[in-house]
Structure 1
Amino acid sequence: MSAPANAPGRSALLLGIALGGFFDGIVLHQILQWHHLLSGLERVRDLRLQLLADGMFHALMYLLALAGLVGLWRARGAWDEPGAGRVLGSAALLGFGGWHVLDALLSHWLLGLHRVRMDVADPLAWDLGWLAAFGLVPLALALWWRRRPPPPKGGGAGRRGAAALGLAALLAGPLAALPADTDQVLVVFAPGTRGARAFDALARLDARVLWARDGVWALQMDQPRQAWGLLADGALLVGRGPLAGCLGATRFAPR
């Protein structure tokens, strides 16, 4: 049974949305470290909740990317149709730009979950610049590309477009899980873990505390692999290695 004619476009749209989310997570959360997902909510001050929200956001992007990849593969029979490359490319740009427009309208302005930059006097200027560069420009390119007449023959553009989208999603997913700084070990202790118990566990491992906040501890250790032993002393998560994600990218001054 052949896939519907618009199935590749729907799958590319999902992949574009997921790539937009991964892009924000990698650039804003991890590399630039300008905000967490819920940085704008004063009532959410617990760093563990901030990290949990970031993790749920990335999990949603992984689900969207998986759905897009599965749908794209199931619609592979349409890759060689005339105009398939244009449909895939414009739909991916539509999803990428649409994500940033929706994020600006809902997360930045209506709900106030966060702003692009939380540490500046005029966050609106950064919001507008980010929206224009990564929201409006991709949308304009998507509309322009969609209006172009399709070639008389497929010419392999659909297969190349599908391969490029699949590769981008497969690369962006692991990159979104990489920590920004692997020299530190970050540990999330369970709520209610007494400070004395945590300090005793850290002393046994000869760990130096760089900062601690809301049950999240940044450590420096001569043998970082030993940090996994903290899981037996009330730790919920040890943030080191390729699965640390936003935990490994968290940077706060001690207070």
Structure 2
Amino acid sequence: MSVRQSDAFTIPALRSLGWAGLLLGFGLGGFFDGILLHQILQWHHLLSLVTRPPFEDIRVQIMADGFFHLLMYVIAFAGLWKLWKGRHSLAAPGGDRLLLANALIGFGAWHILDGVLSHWLLGIHRIRQGSENLLFWDLLWFFVFGVAFVALGWWLGRDRNGGALGGRTGAAMLAAAVLAGGPVAALPPPNVNTVMVFFKPGTTPSQVFAGIEAVDGRILWSAPSGDVWALDVRDQSRTALLYRHGAWVVSNSAWVAGCLAWTSARK
């Protein structure tokens, strides 16, 4: 006997597994958006269409993109925690099917929410900025990656007495996709040398300049408060050294908010 989606959250043993699928799928949707549209295609960024004060300020743009990816990390790790709690339910009839079905629904739900909220209600960006037919690309993304994935997840989660879909192996692959997708989504597009650095409160000027020297960076811009700096760093493999000198967040790396560098590159 397999499990109906309508029963998924009423059976205690499967509740964590059901939420794990939704959260992991939703987080993957955000990572997919960041990797494909922000990095590879470079069609838009979070606040492309918001130009009124204070959003034209590069620091506000950076913070907005950073908070977006931070939210995706929180959702994804919440999904991983739920998956860990519900791991024993993978052996239950229909457990693995529920996990995959809900992951597909969560992935599609991200794109539906992004389309309705970001593209049409708030108007903060569109899928393909600069296109002559913005609505075409919005609707294409909405139905291909949103509606279609939700429909596929709903179909898969129906009680069709289907066989197992990989059990623990499938769950491990889903978790691996999230763990790999997060850092990759945090990377900027290729050929971007600009690094935005947020230093911890109380970091002394001597610490800041020691960090800049350690990465052989060239100063492009700094906030009057001295806590935000834009650097040109040719050797991107050295940027992690900034953490040793009081940095709190360093962009252009596979760390949380590492996606921030491309925002400055477009400014």
Show the counterpart of 2:14. 5
Q: CA RMSD in A?
A: 3.5
| % identity of equivalent residues | 46
Which runs of no fewer than 5 residues in structure 2 stay unpaired? 1-10, 200-204
Equivalent-residue separation in structure 1 for 2:120 and 2:158 (angstroms): 32
- 1:165 has 2:174 as partner: yes
Show the counterpart of 2:32. 23
Q: What TM-score results when the alignment is normalised by the length of structure 2? A: 0.74
The amino acid that maps onto 1:37 is L
In structure 2, the CA distance between the partners of 1:182 and 1:162, relative to structure 1 (3 Å rule), is same
| Contact 1:47–1:213 (Cα < 8 Å) also in 2 | no
Equivalent-residue separation in structure 1 for 2:250 and 2:96 (angstroms): 43
In structure 2, the CA distance between the partners of 1:80 and 1:181, relative to structure 1 (3 Å rule), is same
**Deviating more after overlay: 4-13 vs 83-92:** 4-13
Equivalent-residue separation in structure 1 for 2:47 and 2:128 (angstroms): 12
Which runs of no fewer than 5 residues in structure 1 stay unpaired? 191-196
Equivalent-residue separation in structure 2 for 1:242 and 1:220 (angstroms): 16
How far does residue 227 in structure 1 lie from its aligned partner after superposition? Answer: 10
In structure 2, the CA distance between the partners of 1:48 and 1:236, relative to structure 1 (3 Å rule), is farther
Equivalent-residue separation in structure 2 for 1:155 and 1:221 (angstroms): 49
Report Cα offsets for 1:90-144 as digits up to 9, x if no partner: 1000000011111101111011121112222321111111112110111121122
Equivalent-residue separation in structure 2 for 1:91 and 1:171 (angstroms): 20
Q: What does 1:1-255 align with in structure 2 at a 5 Å threshold?
A: 3-43=12-52, 44-151=55-162, 155=164, 157-181=166-190, 184-187=193-196, 217=230, 219=232, 221=234, 225=238, 238-243=250-255, 245-250=258-263, 252=265
The amino acid that maps onto 1:178 is L
Report Cα offsets for 1:174-216 as digits up to 9, x if no partner: 21222333661324589xxxxxx9xxx8xx968668x879987
In structure 2, the CA distance between the partners of 1:207 and 1:65, relative to structure 1 (3 Å rule), is closer
Q: Could you say what secondary structure the match of 1:37 adopts?
A: coil
In structure 2, the CA distance between the partners of 1:216 and 1:46, relative to structure 1 (3 Å rule), is farther
In structure 2, the CA distance between the partners of 1:52 and 1:147, relative to structure 1 (3 Å rule), is same
In structure 2, the CA distance between the partners of 1:123 and 1:83, relative to structure 1 (3 Å rule), is same
Q: How many pairs are equivalent?
A: 238
Equivalent-residue separation in structure 2 for 1:145 and 1:222 (angstroms): 47
